[in-house]
């Protein structure tokens, strides 16, 4: 393909990255706001910073695992396996990132052994 360019790859990749990022952050904000949690904005800002790092780490891990599994499975089996594992791994990553952001920004109770 001498005239092949990345027009069919780059815009969908950018759209998927932005959709995952914005969707996760807005979903977290909406869920926490709906349940009247404290520190909603701090949690959402932290998640907005954490999500791109998580997406990049997931992508690198997924590519590495695909290359390792490519030796043991045929192309059709590998595609079927990826189609089953990808949504599960993305869902677990989204849940883990949201939990981590909430845990790290949750107000801490006062320590029982401090005197104020």
Contact 89, 62 (CB under 8 A): yes
Domain ranges of the chain: 18-105
Condensed to tens digits (0 to 9), the pLDDT of residues 7-61 reads 777 888 888 889 999 999 999 999 989 988 888 899 999 999 999 999 999 999 9
3-state SS class at 114: coil
Helices (H) and strands (E) in the chain, counts: 3, 0
pTM greater than 0.85 (yes/no): no
Condensed to tens digits (0 to 9), the pLDDT of residues 84-111 reads 988 899 999 999 999 999 888 877 676 6
3-state SS class at 38: coil
């Amino acid at each position: 393909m001498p005239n092949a360019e990345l027009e069919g790859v780059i815009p969908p990749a950018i759209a998927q990255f932005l959709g995952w990022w914005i969707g996760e952050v807005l979903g977290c904000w909406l869920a926490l706001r709906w349940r009247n949690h404290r520190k909603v904005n701090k949690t959402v800002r932290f998640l907005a910073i954490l999500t791109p790092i998580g997406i990049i780490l997931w992508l690198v891990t997924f590519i590495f695992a695909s290359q390792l599994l490519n030796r043991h499975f045929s192309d059709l089996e590998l595609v079927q396996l990826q189609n089953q594992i990808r949504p599960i791994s993305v869902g677990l990553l989204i849940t883990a990132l949201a939990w981590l952001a909430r845990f790290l920004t949750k107000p801490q109770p006062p320590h029982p052994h401090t005197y104020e």
